[in-house]
Chain A
Amino acid sequence: MAEKITLGKALNHGLRRALENDPKVVIMGEDVGKLGGVFRITDGLQKDFGEDRVIDTPLAEAGIVGTAVGLAIRGYRPVCEIQFDGFVFPAYNQIVAQVAKMFYRSKGKVRVPMVIRIPFGGGIGAVEHHSESPEAYFAHTPGLKVVTCSNPADAYTMIQQAIASDDPVVFFEPKRRYWEKGDVDLDAPLSGAYPLHAARVARPGSDATLLAYGPMVRVALDAAAAAAEDGRDLEVIDLRTLSPVDFPTIFESVKRTGRAVVVHEAPGNLGMGAELAAKITEECFYSLEAPVLRVTGYDIPYPAARSEEEYLPDLDRLLDAVDRSFGW
């Protein structure tokens, strides 16, 4: 039976179910216990599962991820919480040099089935290091799977799927969508869920394809709704998985619509949009009516909060790009 809950609460339910279903699942991070995390995503979990399952750690990101590697080698399934996007870099060595490579280094004999949860993106008026979109750094690293959810239903299932997967998964949570509500079927079996590494058509359309993920899916859907009033029928694809990207779903759409616009908060230079544009051009060249366009953050450090509305791609910038695509 579906309930209307927030994305943050959906993650909490998903984590709870993972803890219930597998005694090897442990959650670890700063403030995840009594406080329930700074966003309360782990609220109540330590109370119900104990301090050995929901572990308040010392304050050091490399330590959180590095000890999780050891626990994973030991047979546990750690779920690490990095408090904010910009704080992941002290753990960067552990993630890209150790987590990503253990399986390869050992010729498949050592698995580190772990999840690294990172609240990411801007739009909440935060200070420096609290609004970044570092997904490309991780999607660029072979050995890591990188996913992000955009709505409560996906949040609930994807976090469980990520934990159940033997692949190490970097799980980006769109922090400014934590409080948005949607229908979630809390009783649905995971076995019947939509695949973790598949994009989803969030809105079907025939005139152009908008590609978005995480916090930008809402912006893309709003843009599509606005464009519909102008008589343009835009398709919106929620990528969900950034490594691997579900290219077949994207190619099918773009070959049909002939136009693609990618939107993300991260700087455009060498970002996800660059990769998507290149791959679409390689595969869909003869179907394209216009170049693949990108709407992204600027190539600057994330600006001070009073400027972030200008930095973040919004409905107007996205519609402007759609206009440029049609004007080609």
Chain B
Amino acid sequence: MAKGERKAGAVPPSGGGTDAPAGGFVQLLTPDGEHLGSVTTADGTTYSVDFTDEEYRGLYRDLVTVRRLDAEATALQRQGELGLWASLLGQEAAQVGSGRALRPQDMAFPTYREHGVLYCRGIDPIMPFGLFRGVDQGGWDANEHKFNSYTIVIGSQTLHATGYAMGVTMDGKTGSPDGEAVIAYFGDGATSQGEVNESFVWSGVFNAPIVFFCQNNQYAISEPLERQTRIPLYNRAAGYGFPGIRIDGNDVLASYAVTRAALDNARNGQGPTLIEAYTYRMGAHTSSDDPTRYRIASEVESWKAKDPIARVKAFLTKQKLAGDDFFAEVDEGAKQLALSLRERVLAMPDPQPVTMFDHVYPNGSPELDEQRQAFTEYHASFEGSGH
């Protein structure tokens, strides 16, 4: 093969540890907490991680913290403090593994469930609470944090990521280990969208430095994977001319190792990769739906046995990398962070109504200026009248 060329196609190992789907997936940490060390895929690529003890403990801390923040948000929604919440419960490993695989210069384009990746990007975790409470629509600085706004229309952001990645190439920021790469997050449902397929076409044609990270959590609201595809999603990549690979999405080590390798390939000029993180959404799609209507309890129970956090805890315990004191300290830290977030959310003021006129156009608009003025005068007319 010429330099820079890569084989396209399906490359997971045939096995992939326990409970692998047909066709296998890349797994480095089994549900029992057994560390497999390394795994070699059918195309000869070997994936492994080389973490220090402290880094293993750090991953565990991330997972627990992210789950706790998510639980707090779910509770706040139930108490009426958030209008809606899109829970990541069950998907912590996919998000933390891939999020920690990003280098500072890499840019991420999330959907609306990537609270774990947001956390890994160093963004104040209060930010999505504001979005779901309805006091703003996000509002973090995408360029400062290298993490774009949440995108709610399914799949639209994959094109933004692709264009951004084309810009990385045009800026000459690929072709070296210090280059930049881009990651686009989306779900299994999004793979049915035309725009996601267009982003695959564009990325392939322009050899964009991008990793498509599909969290296949098995359901698009109520619709199971069988309503989106007849073939494993990672196999789609072959049709667009770049590699696709399936990982155990509940395995934070596999998520990290494969994403890191794919990002490095992208930054080195080898183009896109599609990663299918095979996982499960343990909760509802959002707090508005009722998953008991469309899936059976035994299925949920079977996925509980593959819990992404329990296996890291089992690994740390078996390897004597951590004990009860550590686990208690992590739980306490996560709890304190959650409680402080709760306090901050409750103290979050409603926005000043007139600010809804802000930031419509960079250069403003005379029509909008008039409406803002009329709005202000109208409200001022009530002052002192007891309204």
Q: Which chain A residues have a beta carbon within 8 Å of chain B's beta carbons?
A: 26, 52, 57-58, 60, 62-63, 65-76, 78, 90, 93-94, 97-98, 102-111, 113, 142-143, 145, 165-167, 197, 244-245, 247-248
Q: Are A109 and B141 in contact (CB under 8 A)?
A: yes
**What distance in Å separates the Cβ of A139 from its nearest Cβ neighbour in chain B?**
11
Q: Are B167 and A75 in contact (CB under 8 A)?
A: yes
Q: Are B153 and A70 in contact (CB under 8 A)?
A: no
Question: Interface stretch among B77-85, B291-299, B354-362?
Answer: B354-362
Q: Are A70 and B198 in contact (CB under 8 A)?
A: no
- Asked if A244 meets B199 with Cβ closer than 8 Å, knowing A62-B194, A105-B138, A143-B360, the reply is no
Cβ-defined partner of A58 (8 Å) among B161, B205, B365: B205
Q: Are A109 and B143 in contact (CB under 8 A)?
A: yes
**What distance in Å separates the Cβ of B359 from its nearest Cβ neighbour in chain A?**
4
- Asked if A143 meets B361 with Cβ closer than 8 Å, knowing A70-B164, A97-B156, the reply is yes
Does B139 touch A at the CB level, under 8 Å? Answer: yes
Q: Are B156 and A71 in contact (CB under 8 A)?
A: no
Q: Which residue of A lies closest to B160 (CB)?
A: A70
Cβ-defined partner of A69 (8 Å) among B159, B170, B363: B159
Q: Are A70 and B166 in contact (CB under 8 A)?
A: yes
Q: Are A108 and B160 in contact (CB under 8 A)?
A: no
Chain A residues with Cβ below 8 Å from B151 are 98
Q: Are A66 and B198 in contact (CB under 8 A)?
A: yes
**What distance in Å separates the Cβ of A127 from its nearest Cβ neighbour in chain B?**
23
16 additional A-B pairs beyond A66-B156, A106-B138, beta carbons within 8 Å, are A63-B162, A66-B158, A66-B199, A67-B159, A67-B166, A70-B166, A74-B164, A93-B153, A94-B159, A104-B360, A105-B137, A106-B141, A106-B149, A107-B139, A113-B362, A244-B365
Chain A residues with Cβ below 8 Å from B165 are 70
Chain A residues with Cβ below 8 Å from B365 are 244
Q: Which of A62, A67, A103, A104 has the most CB of B within 10 A?
A: A67
Cβ-defined partner of A165 (8 Å) among B159, B162, B363: B363
- Asked if A103 meets B159 with Cβ closer than 8 Å, knowing A63-B201, A70-B167, A73-B148, the reply is no
- Asked if A74 meets B159 with Cβ closer than 8 Å, knowing A66-B195, A110-B143, A165-B363, the reply is no
Q: Are B198 and A62 in contact (CB under 8 A)?
A: yes
- Asked if A66 meets B159 with Cβ closer than 8 Å, knowing A58-B201, A106-B141, the reply is yes
Chain B residues with Cβ below 8 Å from A248 are 366
Chain A residues with Cβ below 8 Å from B194 are 60, 62, 90
Q: Which chain B residues have a beta carbon within 8 Å of chain A's beta carbons?
A: 109, 136-144, 148-149, 151, 153, 156, 158-168, 170-171, 194-195, 198-199, 201-202, 205, 358-363, 365-368
Chain A residues with Cβ below 8 Å from B195 are 62-63, 66, 93-94
In angstroms, Cα B148 to Cα A247, docked, is 37
Chain A residues with Cβ below 8 Å from B143 are 73, 109-110
**What distance in Å separates the Cβ of A158 from its nearest Cβ neighbour in chain B?**
15
Q: Which residue of A lies closest to B366 (CB)?
A: A244
Q: Which residue of B lies closest to A61 (CB)?
A: B198
**Interface pairs (28), CB distance under 8 Å:** A26-B170, A62-B194, A66-B156, A66-B162, A66-B163, A66-B195, A66-B199, A67-B199, A70-B164, A71-B167, A74-B164, A74-B171, A90-B194, A93-B153, A93-B195, A94-B195, A98-B151, A98-B160, A105-B137, A106-B149, A107-B138, A108-B359, A110-B141, A167-B362, A244-B368, A245-B367, A247-B367, A248-B366
Q: Which residue of B lies closest to A107 (CB)?
A: B139
Q: Are B149 and A70 in contact (CB under 8 A)?
A: no
In angstroms, Cα B102 to Cα A323, docked, is 69
Q: Are A107 and B359 in contact (CB under 8 A)?
A: yes
In angstroms, Cα B359 to Cα A193, docked, is 26
- Which A-B residue pairs are the 5 nearest by beta carbons? A70-B163, A66-B159, A74-B167, A67-B163, A70-B164
Chain A residues with Cβ below 8 Å from B366 are 197, 244, 247-248
In angstroms, Cα B362 to Cα A197, docked, is 14
Cβ-defined partner of A106 (8 Å) among B142, B161, B168, B368: B142
**What distance in Å separates the Cβ of A58 from its nearest Cβ neighbour in chain B?**
5
- Asked if A102 meets B149 with Cβ closer than 8 Å, knowing A67-B162, A107-B136, the reply is yes
Chain B residues with Cβ below 8 Å from A78 are 163
Q: Are A71 and B198 in contact (CB under 8 A)?
A: no
Q: Which of B139, B359, B363 has the most CB of A within 10 A?
A: B359
Chain A residues with Cβ below 8 Å from B109 are 70
Chain B residues with Cβ below 8 Å from A145 are 361
- Asked if A73 meets B198 with Cβ closer than 8 Å, knowing A58-B205, A103-B361, A167-B361, the reply is no
Chain B residues with Cβ below 8 Å from A60 are 194, 198, 201
In angstroms, Cα B151 to Cα A107, docked, is 15
Chain B residues with Cβ below 8 Å from A72 are 163
Q: Which residue of A lies closest to B164 (CB)?
A: A70
Q: Which residue of B lies closest to A246 (CB)?
A: B366
Chain A residues with Cβ below 8 Å from B161 are 70
Q: Are B359 and A71 in contact (CB under 8 A)?
A: no
Chain A residues with Cβ below 8 Å from B138 are 105-107
**What distance in Å separates the Cβ of A248 from its nearest Cβ neighbour in chain B?**
8
Chain A residues with Cβ below 8 Å from B144 are 109
Q: Are B359 and A104 in contact (CB under 8 A)?
A: yes
Q: Are A76 and B167 in contact (CB under 8 A)?
A: yes
Q: Are B363 and A166 in contact (CB under 8 A)?
A: yes
Q: Which of B141, B194, B360 has the most CB of A within 10 A?
A: B360
Chain A residues with Cβ below 8 Å from B363 are 165-167
Q: Which of B159, B194, B359 has the most CB of A within 10 A?
A: B159
In angstroms, Cα B367 to Cα A76, docked, is 28
Chain B residues with Cβ below 8 Å from A90 are 194
Q: Which of B136, B170, B205 has the most CB of A within 10 A?
A: B170
In angstroms, Cα B202 to Cα A262, docked, is 43
Q: Are B149 and A142 in contact (CB under 8 A)?
A: no
Chain B residues with Cβ below 8 Å from A166 are 362-363
In angstroms, Cα B137 to Cα A248, docked, is 33
Q: Are B137 and A76 in contact (CB under 8 A)?
A: no
Q: Are A105 and B149 in contact (CB under 8 A)?
A: yes
Chain A residues with Cβ below 8 Å from B362 are 103, 108, 111, 113, 165-167
Q: Are B202 and A57 in contact (CB under 8 A)?
A: yes
Chain B residues with Cβ below 8 Å from A76 are 167, 170
Cβ-defined partner of B168 (8 Å) among A57, A74, A165: A74
**What distance in Å separates the Cβ of A111 from its nearest Cβ neighbour in chain B?**
6
In angstroms, Cα B368 to Cα A245, docked, is 11
Cβ-defined partner of B156 (8 Å) among A26, A57, A73, A94: A94
Chain A residues with Cβ below 8 Å from B359 are 103-104, 106-108
